[in-house]
A and B are shown apart, each in its own frame.
Chain A
């Protein structure tokens, strides 16, 4: 913002020893300071709640009963987290969530990567309707799918299983996976692939040995995104399951009758993956969102 505040003021020529005009410099410094102030304010808004839930989740039950609450971590204890993890359904929910996330990731890669490659490379008939179809499914609310799928799964015996949630989450993640992988493959020059073919690779070999290694980072980002989506999805998971809850579904269903400490611990556990995933994905975020949605 400050790059255009050029030094317009020039010292008048008739004075014997022209003083250096410091105003632009001062303005530049003021802009820098304002910039930092703005950034710090927004950072406080974004980070403070996370700090507070971490603080709540690592305070003892007694400390949570105090009022006013202390903003400084002066009585660290794992009591709240431990009690939460030992509550019914939490550990199972955690395991289910991880399972669902990993299977969703694998399934959507197996189905999505070939489709993404096809969209990026071949002008097959019906390519535009296919892409429109993908966009349409992205816009479809989860509720619309969950309720009928629950009935369907009840009839087929899939209801209340990890697989049921995996299928729903894969359906939700697949459009995004296809769009992201196709943009990743678009970034791999066609020439490289053709060169590999000329040197005697079969199409499959060229894909596996040349294209895949170049596309791996982007595909990894896409799969992390899938995992996060599955980890966070709560409505469909709670509608499709009864005993085999995922973690968010378990927390949601026991929300009303649980003590505050339980909710804080649950919230913190749900936030932790976000901290890790965004840390690893931060370089890819703008690429993914910038190029894929349009």
Chain B
């Protein structure tokens, strides 16, 4: 008990206290409790577009990341020559921050960047990928940067999950004549379910917190919810609205996590 006491005290001080005061702050105003902060938040022209962008990004990004990560993990498991080098390179983005990832892809997508250099050298017109009026390409840029950065996390979790599955199951299925896709769908994926669920929860919660990628790539042109919190706090100096936004982010994350956990519980009843 003595051993965990410091951690409990520390966590309560730095989690419990700020959370309570954060909630108070979000509802606080010059004259007592109010929901004015939320009204101001919702009336901000950037707010709804930031919500839309965040949701769209998550909905498109998560499936791509899971398919890609699964393919990567299966490739690694097939033990190609040089697989340890591949593993190293594929895991690097795991330790790259979202700000850095945005800056890395800025070299590619900026007006006089590498992508346009390629286009120009094959004789095509350069495109201003990150321009305000070019929503689709802006979204693609942010999406690619995020897929690049965060797929590694899913990849590592899936590799770990695959390692814990004995190869015998798949070989048995193979002996009974199951093809590659059958084995993947009926044997490997069900056995991987716990890892995939962990990755899904973690990845979705983290995806809500993305903001610096978009800030680095597009400035204010592609607002995301957490980026709005940053703007309200540092740019507009309004801590109350920033707290309100933070609460929204927290509520959405919690709902998502609980939703996934419910899903997880329902399915783990089934024998694996």
Question: For residue B209, which residues in chain A have a CB less than 8 angstroms away from its CB?
Answer: 141-143, 235
With A142-B209, A290-B161 in contact, is A42–B75 under 8 Å at CB? yes
- Residue in A2, A145, A274, A293 whose CB lies within 8 Å of B19: A145
Complex Cα spacing A110 to B9, Å: 13
Establish whether residues A234 and B99, one from each chain, have CB atoms under 8 Å apart when the complex forms. Answer: yes
- Residue in A141, A151, A266, A290 whose CB lies within 8 Å of B25: A151
B234 at the interface (CB under 8 A from A): yes
Complex Cα spacing A166 to B13, Å: 14
With A71-B114, A294-B198 in contact, is A274–B22 under 8 Å at CB? no
- Residue in A2, A35, A167, A232 whose CB lies within 8 Å of B100: A232
B43 at the interface (CB under 8 A from A): no
A61-97 residues with Cβ-Cβ distance < 8 A to B are 65, 67-69, 71
A129-171 residues with Cβ-Cβ distance < 8 A to B are 130, 133, 137, 139-152, 167-168, 170-171
- Residue in A69, A140, A143, A152 whose CB lies within 8 Å of B229: A143
Complex Cα spacing A68 to B115, Å: 9
Question: For residue B19, which residues in chain A have a CB less than 8 angstroms away from its CB?
Answer: 140, 144-145, 148
Question: For residue A275, which residues in chain B have a CB less than 8 angstroms away from its CB?
Answer: 92
Residue of A nearest to B163 (CB): A286
- Residue in A174, A175, A235 whose CB lies within 8 Å of B230: A235
Residue positions of A touching B, CB distance < 8 A: 1-4, 32, 35-36, 38-39, 42-43, 45-47, 49-50, 52-53, 55-56, 65, 67-69, 71, 110-112, 114-115, 117-119, 122, 124, 130, 133, 137, 139-152, 167-168, 170-171, 174-175, 178, 228, 231-235, 238-239, 248, 251-253, 255-256, 260, 263-264, 266-267, 270-271, 273-275, 277-279, 282, 285-287, 289-291, 293-294
Residue of B nearest to A266 (CB): B103
B216 at the interface (CB under 8 A from A): yes
Size category of the binding interface on chain B = 35 or more
Establish whether residues B15 and A141, one from each chain, have CB atoms under 8 Å apart when the complex forms. Answer: no
Establish whether residues A141 and B250, one from each chain, have CB atoms under 8 Å apart when the complex forms. Answer: yes
Complex Cα spacing A43 to B87, Å: 9
With A141-B246, A143-B229, A275-B92 in contact, is A293–B198 under 8 Å at CB? yes
A204 to chain B, nearest CB (A): 12
B82-115 residues with Cβ-Cβ distance < 8 A to A are 82-84, 86-100, 102-108, 110, 112-114
With A46-B89, A50-B104, A111-B6 in contact, is A147–B96 under 8 Å at CB? no
Q: List 19 A-B contacts (CB under 8 A).
A: A39-B83, A52-B114, A114-B4, A118-B4, A140-B15, A143-B226, A143-B246, A144-B249, A145-B14, A150-B233, A232-B99, A252-B215, A255-B215, A266-B103, A267-B99, A274-B96, A274-B100, A278-B92, A294-B194
